[in-house]
Each structure stands twice: as structure tokens, then as C-alpha cells.
Amino acid sequence: MSYKAVQKVRVKVPASTANLGPGFDSLGMALNLYAWIDLAISEQTTIDLIGDQMHGIPTDKTNLIYKVAQMVFQEAGVSHPELSISMYSDIPLTRGLGSSASAIVGALAGANALIGNKLTEYELFQIASRLEKHPDNVGASLYGGIVVAFWDGEKAESIRIEPDPNLEVLVAIPAFQLATEKARGVMPKQVAMKDAVFNLSHSSLLVAALITGNLGMIRHAMKDALHQPYRAPLIPGMKTLLEQAENHGALGVALSGAGPTMLALVDQRSGRKAELEGFLKETLAKEGIEAQTLWLKPSREGVTTTALQENDGDLQSFVDKEVHA
């Protein structure tokens, strides 16, 4: 990471999953699925979105990356009103894999690198949590690994956990989008004390299991009473997956963020990976839902930035040569 201002920077930022079941708005894990953003100080603002899934994202100054970058400049007391921005992402949009958090973190880190990293990582985390209103996805994309965090409406604090080397993640991504607002809208404004205690105890046990590498405890800990029961009707097949995936080789299963992606934690030494993947796909297919499955690992590395030279080529050539190679 450079400590002097640069003209152009390339950012790589991981996807994330939030909640992991009981850790609602407080647990996040970075995943090795990435977005790349090129940012450069320019004489005129241009925004180039690479790939089909970027359809519908604004290409003017209402673009999220542009707006977040300007927040960094404002916070640091500098002015760069015109930017050249290119973005490519393998993170599916509005599927519960932290696509908006990755864009926010990527824009923060990229803009900060352009001005010589005037803001600390902690300051970037504060801005990101303020924008997202919860710190789990942004914390994971910023720091990598597993992040335990809170946001109290004014500040965010977090502790990073190094993921167990045997932890693997299977996601089933349904072929429909689910807006976070809709997924939050079905949740009650108040919960029973027994449900609050249920989640506190399970979330605490899950954090302890992740820290100590007690992977066998995950199946007991990864249960939730605060959000998944209310969101299950939005995702046909989810209830079956929550109840039965552990019988097919999962350490534990949860809705990824606000969904609709379903996530299973798996011990990579398990001999039942194909069985589990088949079970996820078949359960959703019975409900008429087509889903893509991906085997991922926790990303130990958070967001990274690289200063680019004139002759380094554009993001499209990088994607063609490096990402799709």
C-alpha cells in the first residue's frame, strides 16, 4: 500500500456473508469471490461498468462508488471532483453476498489510496458502517477473515478472527434477487426475551467455536430465532435446508445476509461434499428454484490496493487476462 498520492489505483475487494445464523448484524465473513475497481483522478468523470450483471447501475455522479469516493476526499479535506472509474464484479448483486458493502469498501480504499492513505483503516470502517447501518459485511470486506462487530448508531468496533484452515463454504445462489429492505421488512419490531437469549447464547457459542477451531460445535451454535424464521417464507425450500442440511454433511447452515443465497459451512476434509451440494440444489429445484452452487473459502485478505502506472493496461484487459484466464 502506497503512502504517497497516486494518479490511478486498482482495488480488489472480497465478497462477504453476514449473520452466520445467530450473529444478526454482528458477524461477517469475507469470501474468495471478488470485485475489482480502477479509480483515477481525471479531468472528466467517466464510469465504465464491465460485465452483464452491472446492467442498471448508474454511470453518472449518482454512482455509489463515485459518491463514496467523494466522502473520503471531503473527510480528508481534499478536492477531486472528477474521477475515472471502472468496475468488474464476480459478486452477484442483491443476493446476500455483500455486493453493496464490497462497492463501498472498494471505493473507500481506492479513494484513500489516491490521496496517499490520509485516513486510517479504522476511519474507513466508521464511514462504511455509517453508510451500511451495520458493520458485518463492510468489516469482513475491509479486514478479511471473520469479523465480530457492533455499530451503535455512532461508532463501530470490531475484532477479527482468523478462519480455521479446514473451513469451507458452500453457497447456493437462487436465480432471483431479494432486496434487503424487503427481507428486513418482514421482521418484527420486538422479540420475546427467550428469543433474544437464544440468539445471544448461540452467537456467543458460534464465536467461541470459530476461535477455538471446534468445528463440531458449529451445528449446535448456528441456530437463529431473530430473523431466519421470519424470512423463510420469502425463500421456498429454506426451512427444509435449515432443518436438514446437517444430515447431509454440513457443519451448519444459514441464510447468507438478507438472502436469498443459502450458505453451508463445511469441513473440507468431509467426504460428503457432493451429497451436500446435491441436497441443496435438489431442495431448491423441488420448489421450482434454479440455483447456482459455488464452493468458496473464507478470504483471509480484506481489500487491497495497487498503484497503477500509465502502461499497466485497463481493467477490461486485466479481467480478460487474469480473472477469466
Is 130 annotated in a binding site? The answer is no
Cell of 309: 502506472
Is 300 annotated in a binding site? The answer is no
- Residue among 110, 131, 146, 92 nearest 10 (CA): 110
Is 93 annotated in a binding site? The answer is yes
Place of cell 469470501: 31
Is 100 annotated in a binding site? The answer is yes
Residue 17 near residue 28 (C-beta atoms within 8 A): yes
Is 94 annotated in a binding site? The answer is yes
Is 174 annotated in a binding site? The answer is no
Is 92 annotated in a binding site? The answer is yes
Residue 53 near residue 93 (C-beta atoms within 8 A): yes
Residue 68 near residue 80 (C-beta atoms within 8 A): no
Single-letter amino acid code for the residue at 35: A
C-beta neighbour count of 4 within 10 angstroms: 8
Cell of 136: 458485518
Residue 280 near residue 292 (C-beta atoms within 8 A): no
Is 99 annotated in a binding site? The answer is yes
Q: Which residues pair with 135 in a beta bridge?
A: none
Q: Which backbone phi and psi does 301 adopt, to 5 degrees?
A: -100, 135
Is 278 annotated in a binding site? The answer is no
Beta-strand pair 291-296/304-307? unpaired
C-beta neighbour count of 94 within 10 angstroms: 19
What is the gyration radius of the CA atoms in the chain, in angstroms?
Answer: 20
Summarize the annotated binding site for ATP as residue ranges.
92-102
Summarize the annotated binding site as residue ranges.
92-102
